[in-house]
């Protein structure tokens, strides 16, 4: 896989470089960015290119528009924030590959940056029809001389700007993609032990494949978040109105059995913060994990569980965390996620490799006031990270390995 360093060594002055970034940032109701982590993560590769005299064309997506322009999904907030971070204006084309995009790219001088509008405003970006997807990729490729893949959060997607365009231009892995792959390789190829994995988030079904694979490699799995209630149900406990995937109970029973046979420790909460509604103002208290009242829902792991989770992370030399422990965006249910984050910070100080696996986990640690550099690595990957850990081939990586 050729890298950004290889490209810079070859020389890029005057070349048009199409950079596929991940700028899929969360926005509030007013369209303001609430977590700019992905924008900040895109800066080093772009700065390296502009510093070497490249004419950089940034492309990305935001949200899930249906193949046509939607104002609420415009990349304008991302372009503005990127410009602030670069200390230079980043003009945004009014389209993806149309007249505005072509004029903007043609007007670039060495060391300047422009951004195309949301790629998903064009149906070809995500089309299942290979011909339609490749046609859009050809239009993207016509805007550039070189392609740099730097959006790790999308490398698990076989999409025009991730996969097809790499087959049409000389292609390189950006600094972010290279860093993500190196960290994930450390998690999958002879990790330092003890190796602890913390899994949370809403649904166990989203993580079935990764759980199955981690049972082969991890020493202990700590389970929290909404997915824990399917585990508790599999043990025969009442979970009240908590989030439950009843169709996964038997699968989870199988995982519990496999873990026991393989000597993998499964750590489940012993107490739960249970509320009578999904609201910060709802009546709530701490109950035993095996005695959740029928009229209440679990919204966080309890204080004893938080201590137990921290204790099981204290001696770990490798930690991967994906998914919050509760509804962290509401203060009464943030303590479990806070405790896990603090435990990872301590583990990092002790020399462990700690990886926060993107998505809601990354948003949670930032919202709770932690700095990125308090952890070994904060992934921008989310689903891509999980699929890598699951052992799947990721199209956006395999295409970079081709000549």
Q: Which residues carry a binding-site annotation for (2R)-3-phosphoglycerate?
A: 38, 120, 157
Distance CA 383, CA 72 (A): 23
263: left (phi over 0), alpha (psi -120 to 50) or beta: left
Helices (H), 68-189: 76-86, 99-106, 130-141, 175-188
Distance CA 400, CA 402 (A): 5
Output the DSSP codes for 55-73.
EEEEE---S---SS--GGG
Residue 144, token pair as written in the block: 């550039």
Helices (H), 246-334: 249-262, 303-313
Pairing of strands 353-356, 271-275: unpaired
As annotated, the binding site includes 22-24, 38, 61-64, 120, 157, 207, 298, 329, 358-361
Distance CA 60, CA 226 (A): 31
| Known active-site residue 359 | yes
3-state helix/strand/coil string of 86-112:
HCCCCCECCCCCCHHHHHHHHCCCCCC
Among candidate residues 226, 359, 376, 381, the one labeled active-site is 359
Among candidate residues 40, 203, 253, 307, the one labeled active-site is 203
Among candidate residues 16, 38, 241, 366, the one labeled active-site is 38
Distance CA 244, CA 232 (A): 10
| Known active-site residue 40 | no
As annotated, the binding site for substrate includes 22-24, 38, 61-64, 120, 157
Write out the E strands in 254-378: 265-267, 271-275, 284-288, 297-301, 318-322, 353-356, 377-378
Residues tagged active-site: 38, 203, 359, 383
């Amino acid at each position: 896989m050729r890298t950004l360093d290889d490209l810079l060594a070859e020389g890029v002055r005057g070349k048009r470089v199409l950079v596929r970034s991940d700028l899929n940032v969360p926005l509030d109701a007013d369209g303001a960015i609430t977590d700019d982590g992905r924008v900040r993560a895109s800066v080093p590769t772009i700065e390296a290119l502009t510093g070497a005299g490249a004419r950089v064309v940034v492309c990305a997506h935001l949200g899930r528009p249906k193949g046509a322009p939607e104002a609420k999904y415009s990349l304008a907030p991302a372009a503005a924030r990127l410009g602030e971070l670069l200390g230079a204006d980043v003009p945004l084309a009014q389209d993806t590959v149309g007249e505005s995009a072509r004029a903007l790219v043609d007007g670039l001088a060495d060391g300047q940056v422009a951004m195309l509008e949301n790629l998903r405003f064009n149906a070809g970006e995500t089309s299942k029809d290979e011909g339609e997807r490749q046609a859009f990729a050809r239009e993207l490729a016509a805007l550039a001389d070189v392609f740099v893949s730097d959006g790790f959060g999308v490398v698990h997607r076989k999409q025009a700007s991730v996969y097809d365009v790499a087959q049409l231009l000389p292609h390189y892995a950006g600094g972010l993609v290279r860093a993500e792959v190196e960290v994930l390789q450390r998690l999958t190829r002879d990790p330092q032990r003890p190796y602890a994995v913390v899994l949370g988030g809403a649904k166990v079904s989203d993580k079935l494949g990764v759980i199955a694979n981690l049972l082969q490699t991890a020493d202990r799995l700590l389970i929290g978040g909404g997915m824990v209630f399917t585990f508790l149900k599999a043990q025969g406990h009442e979970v009240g109105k908590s989030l439950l995937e009843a169709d996964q109970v038997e699968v989870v029973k199988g995982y519990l059995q496999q873990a026991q046979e393989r000597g993998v420790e499964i750590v489940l909460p012993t107490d739960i913060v249970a509320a009578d509604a999904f609201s910060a103002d709802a009546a709530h208290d701490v109950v035993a994990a095996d005695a959740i009242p029928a009229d209440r829902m679990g919204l966080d792991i309890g204080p004893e569980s938080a201590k137990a989770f921290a204790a099981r992370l204290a001696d770990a030399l490798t930690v991967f965390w994906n998914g919050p422990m509760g509804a962290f965006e509401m203060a009464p249910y943030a303590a479990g996620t806070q405790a896990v984050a603090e435990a990872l910070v301590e583990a990092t100080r002790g020399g462990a490799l700690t990886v926060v696996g993107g998505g809601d986990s990354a948003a949670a640690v930032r919202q709770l006031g932690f700095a990125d550099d308090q952890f070994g690595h904060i992934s921008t990957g989310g689903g891509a990270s999980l699929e890598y850990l699951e052992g799947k081939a990721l199209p956006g990586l395999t295409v970079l390995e081709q000549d």
